[in-house]
């Protein structure tokens, strides 16, 4: 439990550099103001999002917010922190209460790529699953995170892919028995039972390393609450060791919640059994 002390965060407002959100393009960063946040990520195709409340930003700082700007959010503890969300501002507001200026921000991962995007792509019979996904990513102006198609598809003839990008990605995922998501502004296509942190030390959750309360068994795996943990992302392998439950799982849903003025600074993870 030694690393879970002295809560810290940094919320950075950045400009887009190519297809990336990079710290070198930062407009401003905050790490001392009171903040309240909720981050939700899932392994399905629905956009990941984060909601923030910042208290008592200066007038100059409040004037810097524009819809579509990038947000990088790191959180954790003095000796154990890292990135838990990156995305683009969807909506924001500034409201004066009796005591504070409250700035509310909603941020969506892949916002610029998924919102009202229509594609029209043509492929020859030599196309592969990889070239199809790469072409979609190029059209969306985002990078590839990983492509590992579960079921190969034969393209005996050329074909066209037209319409809303999400519908086309959904259909291609069904045809290839894969899942897709946009995570940290990158496109992933992979089997549902595959982990994205393969080859990296698997995070271990146990009573002496962050577990809060008792893990709950679910139909497909486990639900566990921990002190805030940036090491576990979507499609990450993680281990649980407790009196009730022991096993290795793949994360399918994450919720990070915190409030500097309160006690909340937690990560809730839902995962499926890892074979």
Identify which of 7, 13, 51, 53 has the alpha carbon closest to the alpha carbon of residue 30. 13
Average pLDDT in the 141-150 region? 90
Per-residue confidence (pLDDT) for residue 220, from 0 to 100: 94
Structurally, the chain folds into a number of domains equal to 3
CB 60 within 8 A of CB 195: no
Answer whether residue 139 is part of any domain: yes
Give the pair of three-digit tokens for residue 14.
Answer: 């950045």
Task: Name the percent of the chain in helix, strand, coil, to the closest 5.
Answer: 10, 50, 40
Residues 125 and 150 in one domain: yes
Q: Mean pLDDT, to the nearest integer, of 178-206?
A: 90
Last residue of a domain, one of 71, 92, 109: 109
Distance from chain centroid for Cα 72: 11
* Statement to judge: residues 90 and 126 lie in one domain: no
Select the more confidently predicted residue: 23 or 60: 60
Q: How far apart are the first and last CA of the chain?
A: 29
Per-residue model confidence as pLDDT tens digits over 75-109: 999 999 999 999 889 999 999 999 999 999 999 99
More confident residue, 203 or 112: 203
Specify the 3-state DSSP secondary structure of 114. helix
User: What pLDDT score was predicted for residue 21?
Assistant: 53
What's the predicted TM-score (pTM) here? 0.90
What pLDDT is attached to residue 46?
84
Note the pLDDT tens digit of each residue in 200-256.
889 999 998 899 999 999 999 999 999 999 999 999 999 999 998 999 999 999 999
Say how many CA atoms lie within 13 Å of 244 toward its Cβ: 13
**CA–CA separation, 110 and 141 (whole Å):** 10
Show the domain range for 164. 116-190
Please spell the DSSP secondary structure of 159-189, one letter per residue: EEEEEEHHHHHHHHHHHTT-EEEEETTEEEE
């Amino acid at each position: 439990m030694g690393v879970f002390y002295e809560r810290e965060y940094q919320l950075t407002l950045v400009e887009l550099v190519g297809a990336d959100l990079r710290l070198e393009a930062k407009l401003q960063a905050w790490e001392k103001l009171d903040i309240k946040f909720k981050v939700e990520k899932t392994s399905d195709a629905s956009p990941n999002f984060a909601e923030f409340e910042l208290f008592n930003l200066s007038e100059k700082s409040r004037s810097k917010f524009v819809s579509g700007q990038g947000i990088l959010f790191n959180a954790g503890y003095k000796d154990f922190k890292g990135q838990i969300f990156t995305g683009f501002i969807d909506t924001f507001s500034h409201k004066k209460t009796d005591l504070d200026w409250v700035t509310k921000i909603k941020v969506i991962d892949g916002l610029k790529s998924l919102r009202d995007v229509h594609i029209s792509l043509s492929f020859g019979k030599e196309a592969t699953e990889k070239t199809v996904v790469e072409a979609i990513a190029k059209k969306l102006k985002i990078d590839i995170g990983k492509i590992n198609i579960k079921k190969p598809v034969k393209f005996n003839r050329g074909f066209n892919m037209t319409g809303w990008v999400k519908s086309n990605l959904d259909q291609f995922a069904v045809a290839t028995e894969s899942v897709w998501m946009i995570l940290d502004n990158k496109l992933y296509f992979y089997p549902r039972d595959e982990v994205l942190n393969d080859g990296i030390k698997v995070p271990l959750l146990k009573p002496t390393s962050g577990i809060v309360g008792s893990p709950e068994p679910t139909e497909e795996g486990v639900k566990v609450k921990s002190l805030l943990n940036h090491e576990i992302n979507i499609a990450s392998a993680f281990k649980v060791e407790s009196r009730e439950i022991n096993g290795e799982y793949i994360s399918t849903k994450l919720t990070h919640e915190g409030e500097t003025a309160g006690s909340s600074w937690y990560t809730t993870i839902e995962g499926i059994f890892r074979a």
